[in-house]
């Protein structure tokens, strides 16, 4: 079932899927190349693939609106991927896989403070207030 889902999704999005040796990781390069690592758990492998699809589906306007906040972009990519799998393909992951997925996303908490000199938390507050 997972193989057909992955094959069909790659066909739909014209994705070149590359199996890599790295453990428990996946990457998207541009909008048409996904690298998928080695996973002991097949469900975690497929949910990771779905996350990379979520990056492709995630809207540029959302990224801009968040000032390219890594944590929010990662959460959105998981959400978009899970929505795609459920709505388009009827694929529902187990609670434990979803919990693992969002744990992966939350590992980016604090990332922007460490990595970006121009990080401006006050902009988020302004955005939140002005959106009301």
Interface residues with Zn ion (CB under 5 A) are: 74, 77
Separation CA 73–CA 100 (nearest Å)? 17
Minimum distance of Zn ion from residue 28's CB (angstroms): 8
**C-alpha count within 13 angstroms, C-beta hemisphere, residue 39:** 16
Q: Can you point out the beta strands (E) in the chain?
A: 16-23, 26-29, 33-38
In whole angstroms, the minimum distance from the beta carbon of 126 to Zn ion comes to: 26
Taking the complex as a whole, the smallest distance from the CB of residue 120 to Zn ion amounts, in Å, to 22
């Amino acid at each position: 079932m997972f193989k057909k889902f992955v094959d069909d999704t790659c066909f739909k999005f014209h994705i070149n899927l590359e199996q890599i040796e790295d453990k428990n990781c996946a990457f998207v390069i541009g909008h048409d190349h996904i690298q998928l690592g080695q996973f002991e758990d097949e469900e975690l492998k497929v949910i990771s693939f779905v996350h990379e699809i979520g990056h492709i589906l995630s809207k540029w306007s959302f990224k801009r609106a968040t000032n390219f906040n890594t944590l929010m972009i990662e959460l959105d990519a998981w959400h978009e991927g899970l929505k795609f799998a459920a709505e388009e393909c009827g694929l529902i992951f187990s609670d434990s896989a979803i919990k693992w997925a969002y744990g992966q996303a939350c590992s980016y908490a604090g990332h922007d403070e460490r990595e970006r000199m121009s990080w401006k938390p006050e902009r988020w507050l302004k955005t939140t207030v002005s959106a009301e």
